[in-house]
Amino acid sequence: MIIAIDGPAASGKGTIARRLAAHFGLPHLDTGLLYRGVGRIMLDRGFPLDNVEIATAIAENLDIADLAGEALRTREAGEAASVVAAHAPVRQALLDLQRAFAAQTGGAVLDGRDIGTVIAPDAPAKLFVTASPEERARRRFRELVGRGELADEEAFYAAVLADIAKRDARDSGRSSAPLIIAPDALVLDTTTLGIEEAFAAALAAVESARR
Ligand code: CDP
Ligand code: CDP
């Protein structure tokens, strides 16, 4: 059983993906970490993010086992991820490992932007998780504050909201695997849902897709 979960930044797709994976005992891949990993290495080594050749070489040599740690969760890593993710050769370099992960015996849960459209278009269960930009900014703001990334509260919320709007536009507007809703995906708007309610709705959708 492949469960494909897509959606914009801070919509809650990762939380739902983790919970579904635990519920069904399936392996989970947060594919955003792959792009964050490439973006992080570009930043750390001082390479310009628009250097497609270098970004592609980094993507080709990326090791999933290295993708942990707070450095991948920062605002700048998310921003860098969305810049390198718009390069078609970078996406191509990360395709096989994502497809192989999805094809594991017994199934898998993957979350990202193009799982239901490009990585696993035949997945029987597809969710598109979303929420209003303001609610997503509030969620991301709380996470970043919790990690100590905070300047002035009000200005910082405005900056996080601006990040979200910019990332939405870049992810939806790129020509290579843009963020779009797969025609057979169930749209789950979590704007007014808590984590438990969102998970319950996602579980019900997956259960009905399995029947
Ligand atoms: O957690 P959040 O939604 O903020 O970001 P993420 O899922 O870690 O993804 C970071 C960036 O990677 C996104 O803004 C996308 O540009 C890119 N990405 C992608 O293009 N395709 C995916 N399957 C996953 C992420
Ligand atoms: O993976 P994605 O970036 O879409 O979002 P996430 O990491 O699952 O969720 C972003 C933040 O929002 C986390 O701190 C979640 O705990 C929180 N969240 C929430 O407050 N209410 C929800 N219904 C879902 C997530």
pLDDT tens digits for range 144-170: 888 887 767 788 899 999 999 999 999
Distance 146 CA to ligand 2 centre (A): 13
d(CA 155, CA 201): 34
Report the pLDDT value the prediction gives residue 151, as an integer from 0 to 100: 64
Instruction: Assess if residue 102 is contained within a domain.
Output: yes
The total number of structural domains that make up the chain: 1
**Which of 38-70 are b and which e, b meaning 16 or more Cβ less than 10 Å from the residue's Cβ?**
bbbbbbeeebebeeeebbbbbbeebeeeebeee
d(CA 181, CA 43): 31
Instruction: Assess if residue 210 is contained within a domain.
Output: no
Ligand nearest to the CA of residue 196, numbered in listed order: 2
- pTM beyond 0.80: the answer is yes
Please check if 166 is assigned to a binding site: no
Instruction: Assess if residue 33 is contained within a domain.
Output: yes
- Which range marks the domain in which residue 118 is found? 2-200
Instruction: Assess if residue 88 is contained within a domain.
Output: yes
What's the first-to-final CA gap in the chain, in angstroms? 12
Report the pLDDT value the prediction gives residue 3, as an integer from 0 to 100: 98
CATH number at residue 134: 3.40.50.300
DSSP 185: P
Distance 88 CA to ligand 1 centre (A): 14
Would you state the structure tokens that stand for residue 60, as one six-digit string? 């080709």
Which residues, given as ranges, of the chain have pLDDT below 70?
Answer: 151
Instruction: Assess if residue 209 is contained within a domain.
Output: no
Would you state the structure tokens that stand for residue 111, as one six-digit string? 């979350």
Instruction: Assess if residue 207 is contained within a domain.
Output: no
Instruction: Assess if residue 129 is contained within a domain.
Output: yes
Instruction: Assess if residue 208 is contained within a domain.
Output: no
Report the pLDDT value the prediction gives residue 7, as an integer from 0 to 100: 98
Distance 39 CA to ligand 2 centre (A): 22
Q: With a 6 A CB cut-off, is 117 part of the ligand 1 pocket?
A: no
- CA 154, chain centre distance (Å): 26
